[in-house]
Amino acid sequence: MESGLSQAFQEELICFICRSYLTDPVTISCGHSFCRACLHLSWEDSLLPVQCPTCREPCQQKDFRTSTVLKNLVSIARQASLMKYLSSEEHKCVTHKETKGIFCMENRIYLCRLCSDSHEHRSHRHCPVEAAAEGQMERLLKQMESIWNKIQENDENLETEKTMITLWKNCLILREEMIRAEYRTCYPDLSEQEEEHIECMKEEGNYYLEKLMESEAMIVQKGKQLRDMYQELMAMSQEPYVVLLQDFDDIFRRSESMQMIMPLSMNPELYVLAFGLLGENFN
């Protein structure tokens, strides 16, 4: 009976989307709960109202507060799994036959109480394994939030660039029509000069169009890199605490480095310059 209750309790802490323990759980309007990251990715390209992945009930918002109660319950369950793993005979301290309940922050290894007080580890920073695991999870969640915000920022820049490319193409078409109309009205005998004028205008205009398209390609590539990193962090967050306490400094460094340089939409001053050059050609 107790085992059945424990299994039923743990099942309530599982995300319907990823089938792992809820990570940074949020509860949507219909009452179902999911990992925040799972909802982000599930609803990313959907317009409001979005649908609950479980019951398909419409939902009018995409952002929710973390469910503190669920988060605490998941933390208790994950800590219990960690301690059960460390308390097994095969993972106890070989020397002292004690549970390795202390984590050495320098060497990133599990220690029993006596080993942590040994000459080898005495000067190192230690903390209970549960606290170390929770700290690593919070560090991970902050990185995920930061990456997600960069994804949104990058998407906004991409939309700006796409809009500008469309406007720019329309501008070139309109500018050509205006030049041809001007020559037909004022200089009907200068057809050769008309074509030269249009060719010059197109050359200038296509230069900036090419820059815009290069900028768009860079933003698209950055978006892919950010999403790949987000999914890598997400997969890491779903690992058991015993795995989460391994050395993941490399992934954190890569995550932070990736956010330092973000491609921006083309400098507005270049637009002004481009329009000015086209205007000079027309005059």
Give just the sign of the alpha carbon dihedral 132, 138, 141, 142. Answer: negative
CATH of the domain at 120: 3.30.160
Question: Domain check: are 167 and 232 in the same one?
Answer: yes
- What is the C-alpha to C-alpha distance for residues 59 and 65, in angstroms, rounded to an integer? 15
Kindly report which listed range (40-54, 109-123, 148-162, 180-194) carries the lowest average pLDDT score.
180-194
Structurally, the chain folds into a number of domains equal to: 3
The tens digit of pLDDT for each residue in 92-120 reads 999 999 999 999 988 889 999 999 998 88
Residues 148 and 120 grouped into a single domain = no
Residue 235's pLDDT is: 94
pTM for the model: 0.84
pLDDT digits (tens, 9 = 90+) for 8-60: 888 889 999 999 999 999 999 999 999 999 999 999 988 899 999 999 999 99
pLDDT tier at 276, thresholds 50, 70, 90: low
Ramachandran angles phi, psi of 145, nearest 5°: -65, -45
pLDDT bucket at 4, cuts 50 / 70 / 90: low
276 and 155 housed in the same domain: yes
pLDDT given at position 283: 46
Q: Which two tokens stand for residue 69?
A: 């109660």
Domain shared by 155 and 112, yes or no:
no
Tokens of 218: 């860079």
Instruction: For 217-234, give one letter per residue: b (16+ CB within 10 A) or e.
Output: ebbeebbeebbebbeebb
Both ends of the chain: CA-CA distance in Å?
Answer: 88
Instruction: Retrieve residue 137's tokens.
Output: 């999870």
